[in-house]
């Protein structure tokens, strides 16, 4: 029977070219080797499992290869290379400073330094976790580090660069290793899975990469674990279960609930999370990350910061477009505060619940403070007692004075059954009549959401979003659109008033796109009317090109001049 080798070892890169996610750094090292410009001490910094020791070993192997390839990579067949690959090379010494940090350990190492290599040109000393060396060990080491024999190269590695003494730092060439991106990790895991003939789902690999947090070694060992759990068929579901990862699905639901002002469902959902054994602190940290992901997925510029699969990206973007930026700022701040307070709190659960309530209540706050100082005021949530019968809320509820900020949740029975149907995620207008809110909480909820009607704030939001998403070439149209506020005509019609026929022409050209975008964002059929304001209403802010075009349109004399002299706007 073939011996089982863990993937992290089996797929440990043998050349710089095979190192995942550190391209810039490996290129620099290769160039240094190719041009023979070797320093006598290197410091490799970076998180665990990103390839520091691996690169140190490849480096040692490469500079000792007797037959370097044209690309600067080791040949893999010469005596030195084979010695390295079989783990019997005398030219590489590894010291784990985490467990060997005494002066004696360093003295032993210094003794080794004195003996020149028998085969090959360099002896390479790798000191892992070098920040763990004791003060005395550091001192004993310093002199050797400063003036080693010409055949010695030190490679120091650390996860905690800030703990390295300046005296050491100044004697080393420093290389900073990057966390490996989720995408690079997923690609590599896919490669391994293909080689091994495993069935894997991309989403499952993304989960593993997420859990490994930028470390390839961790990713590979989690991957091995998953393969043995699942017998080589790694699905998203099985990965979630086995890794005990809180599905991002929960966060999507929580935010949908918030947008629906449905505090109760969020509290029930949070209860489900804790019952499944997840810690509230992790939950809040995850929720904060979710909000952060929503924030960066709003804009094409920040989209690359979102490290998820493409399908997930679309999902984040879709939810993000339904959130006001102010809400996201506040929610992130609230989650962060909760995270900070969580450890000290005596009633941890309440901390999280408060955070959920406050976040829900900030969904329609707009502006003031913009997240710097979210109001810590709790608005009433539960007004009426839980009731079993499906009848709508009592009449007198409706007659109660309702401020625009009172959440619709206030009108709902507190112990409603949990509605996890994600079609019920439409934003509601702040000033929608109370009666309508009552309608929404009945069983026709999802129907209402699907055949929704146009609401002003959602319309304005979608309008502005459309303007923001216009390509660069249409920057003038985008600017104009931002100054226009669409008006509701009825549930499926809205109008915009523009200053001149040119804008009207531009917008008419865009009409199908605008209507389709708003239809998609507001989940309802819409049609747009464009009106040109009468001259006295028009705000005279024409740009130079507009003035030029208008003059051409309005004045026949100008037109003749234009044609005669081929006038163009300078």
φ, ψ of residue 514 in degrees (nearest 5): -60, -50
Residue by residue, DSSP assigns 57-111 as HHHHHHHH-SS--TTS---S-SHHHHHHHTT--TTEEEEETTT--SHHHHHHHHH
Measured from the Cβ of residue 338, the count of other Cβ atoms closer than 10 Å reads 26
Stretch near Zn ion under the rule CB under 5 A, chosen from 67-75, 457-465, 504-512, 548-556: 67-75
Stretch near Zn ion under the rule CB under 5 A, chosen from 59-67, 160-168, 441-449, 556-564: 59-67
Closer residue to Zn ion, CB minimum distance, 65 or 503: 65
Stretch near Zn ion under the rule CB under 5 A, chosen from 75-83, 155-163, 479-487, 551-559: 75-83
Stretch near Zn ion under the rule CB under 5 A, chosen from 70-78, 171-179, 431-439, 470-478: 70-78
Among residues 102, 80, 85, which one has the least CA distance to residue 12? 85
Closer residue to Zn ion, CB minimum distance, 52 or 61: 61
Length of the chain in terms of residues written:
570
Closer residue to Zn ion, CB minimum distance, 122 or 138: 122
Closer residue to Zn ion, CB minimum distance, 83 or 425: 83
Q: Rounded distance, CA 276 to CA 272, Å?
A: 6
Closer residue to Zn ion, CB minimum distance, 75 or 418: 75
Closer residue to Zn ion, CB minimum distance, 81 or 157: 81
Nearest approach, Cβ of 9 to Zn ion (angstroms)? 21
Nearest approach, Cβ of 87 to Zn ion (angstroms)? 15
| Binding test (CB under 5 A) with Zn ion, winner from 65, 182, 204, 338 | 65
Element (H, E) at 497: strand 493-498
Q: Rounded distance, CA 1 to CA 281, Å?
A: 46
Q: Which of residues 245-274 bind Zn ion (CB under 5 A)?
A: none
Measured from the Cβ of residue 514, the count of other Cβ atoms closer than 10 Å reads 22
Residue by residue, DSSP assigns 263-288 as HHHHHHHHHHHHHTT--HHHHHHHHH
Closer residue to Zn ion, CB minimum distance, 67 or 112: 67
Nearest approach, Cβ of 73 to Zn ion (angstroms)? 9
The contact pattern for Zn ion, residues 480-519, with x = CB under 5 A and - = no contact, is ----------------------------------------
Stretch near Zn ion under the rule CB under 5 A, chosen from 57-65, 286-294, 315-323, 446-454: 57-65
For residue 46, CA distances in Å to 50, 128, 241, 318, 422 come to 7, 12, 30, 35, 41
Closer residue to Zn ion, CB minimum distance, 15 or 158: 15
Q: Which of residues 289-318 bind Zn ion (CB under 5 A)?
A: none
Number of residues binding to Zn ion, judged by CB under 5 A: 6
Nearest approach, Cβ of 58 to Zn ion (angstroms)? 12
Q: Rounded distance, CA 63 to CA 80, Å?
A: 10
Nearest approach, Cβ of 12 to Zn ion (angstroms)? 17
Q: Which of residues 208-237 bind Zn ion (CB under 5 A)?
A: none
Q: Rounded distance, CA 210 to CA 232, Å?
A: 20
Nearest approach, Cβ of 33 to Zn ion (angstroms)? 12
Nearest approach, Cβ of 61 to Zn ion (angstroms)? 8
Nearest approach, Cβ of 97 to Zn ion (angstroms)? 29
| Binding test (CB under 5 A) with Zn ion, winner from 6, 18, 78, 245 | 78
For residue 424, CA distances in Å to 7, 108, 253, 450, 464 come to 44, 69, 10, 8, 23
Binding flag, residue 75, Zn ion (CB under 5 A): yes
Stretch near Zn ion under the rule CB under 5 A, chosen from 12-20, 76-84, 193-201, 236-244: 76-84
Half-sphere exposure in the Cβ direction for 235 (13 Å, CA): 5
Closer residue to Zn ion, CB minimum distance, 78 or 532: 78
Nearest approach, Cβ of 221 to Zn ion (angstroms)? 29
Closer residue to Zn ion, CB minimum distance, 29 or 65: 65
Q: Residues 516, 518, 519, CA angle at the centre, nearest 5°?
A: 60
| Binding test (CB under 5 A) with Zn ion, winner from 30, 81, 284, 503 | 81
Nearest approach, Cβ of 234 to Zn ion (angstroms)? 36
Q: Specify whether the CB–CB gap between 18 and 186 falls below 8 A.
A: no
Nearest approach, Cβ of 51 to Zn ion (angstroms)? 21
Nearest approach, Cβ of 23 to Zn ion (angstroms)? 23
Measured from the Cβ of residue 353, the count of other Cβ atoms closer than 10 Å reads 18
Q: Specify whether the CB–CB gap between 56 and 126 falls below 8 A.
A: yes
Q: Specify whether the CB–CB gap between 44 and 29 falls below 8 A.
A: no
Binding flag, residue 551, Zn ion (CB under 5 A): no
Residues in a beta bridge with 45? 158, 176
Residue by residue, DSSP assigns 313-370 as HHHHHHHHTTS-HHHHHHHHHHHHHHHHHHTT-SSHHHHHHHHHHHHHHTTT--STTT
Closer residue to Zn ion, CB minimum distance, 120 or 214: 120
Q: Which residues bind Zn ion (CB under 5 A)?
A: 65, 67, 74-75, 78, 81
């Amino acid at each position: 029977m073939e011996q089982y080798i863990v993937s992290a070892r089996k797929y440990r890169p043998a050349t710089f070219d095979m190192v995942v996610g550190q391209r810039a750094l490996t290129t620099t090292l290769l160039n240094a080797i190719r041009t023979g410009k070797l320093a006598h001490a290197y410091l490799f910094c970076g998180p665990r499992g990103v390839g520091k020791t691996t690169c140190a070993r490849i480096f040692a192997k490469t500079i000792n290869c007797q037959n370097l390839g044209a690309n600067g990579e080791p040949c893999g067949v010469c005596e030195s290379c084979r010695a390295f690959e079989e783990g019997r090379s005398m030219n590489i010494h590894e010291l784990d400073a985490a467990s060997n940090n005494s002066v004696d350990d360093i003295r032993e190492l210094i003794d080794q330094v004195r003996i020149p290599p028998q085969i090959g040109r360099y002896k390479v000393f790798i000191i892992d976790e070098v920040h763990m060396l004791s003060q005395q060990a550091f001192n004993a080491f310093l002199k050797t580090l400063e003036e080693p024999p010409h055949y010695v190269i030190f490679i120091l590695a650390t996860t905690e660069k800030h703990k390295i003494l300046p005296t050491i730092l100044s004697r080393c060439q420093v290389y900073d290793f990057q966390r490996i991106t989720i995408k690079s990790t997923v690609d590599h895991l896919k490669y391994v899975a293909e080689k091994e003939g495993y069935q894997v789902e991309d989403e499952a690999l993304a989960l593993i990469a997420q859990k490994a947090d930028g470390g390839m070694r961790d990713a590979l060992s989690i991957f091995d674990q998953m393969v043995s759990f699942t017998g080589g068929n790694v699905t998203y579901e099985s990965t979630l279960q086995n890794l005990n990862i809180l599905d991002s699905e929960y966060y999507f639901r929580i935010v949908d609930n918030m947008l629906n002002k449905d505090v109760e469902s969020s509290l029930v959902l949070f209860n489900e999370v804790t019952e499944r054994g997840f810690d509230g602190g992790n939950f809040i940290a995850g929720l904060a990350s979710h909000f952060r992901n929503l924030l960066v997925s709003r804009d094409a510029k920040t989209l690359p910061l979102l490290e998820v699969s493409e399908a997930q990206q679309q999902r984040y973007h879709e939810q993000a477009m339904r959130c006001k930026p102010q809400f996201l700022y506040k929610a992130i701040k609230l989650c962060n505060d909760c995270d900070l307070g969580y450890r000290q709190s005596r009633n941890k659960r309440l901390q999280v619940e408060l955070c959920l309530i406050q976040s829900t209540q900030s969904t329609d706050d707009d502006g003031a403070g913009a997240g710097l100082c979210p109001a810590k005021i709790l608005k009433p949530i539960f007004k009426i007692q839980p009731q079993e019968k499906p009848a709508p809320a009592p009449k007198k509820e409706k007659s109660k004075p309702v401020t625009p900020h009172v959440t619709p949740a206030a009108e709902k029975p507190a112990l409603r059954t949990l509605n996890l149907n994600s079609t019920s995620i439409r934003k509601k207008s702040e000033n929608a009549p109370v009666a309508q809110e009552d309608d929404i909480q009945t069983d026709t909820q999802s129907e209402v959401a699907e055949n929704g009607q146009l609401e002003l704030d959602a319309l304005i939001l979608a309008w502005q979003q459309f303007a923001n998403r216009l390509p660069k070439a249409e920057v003038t149209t985008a600017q104009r659109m931002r100054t226009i506020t669409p008006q509701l005509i009825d549930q499926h019609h809205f109008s915009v008033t523009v200053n001149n026929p040119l804008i009207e022409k531009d917008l008419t050209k865009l009409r199908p796109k605008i209507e389709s975008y708003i239809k998609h964002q507001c989940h309802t059929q819409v049609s747009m009317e464009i009106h040109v304001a009468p001259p006295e209403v028009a705000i005279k802010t024409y740009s130079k090109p507009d003035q030029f075009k208008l003059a051409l349109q309005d004045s026949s004399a100008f037109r003749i001049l234009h044609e005669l002299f081929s006038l163009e706007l300078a």
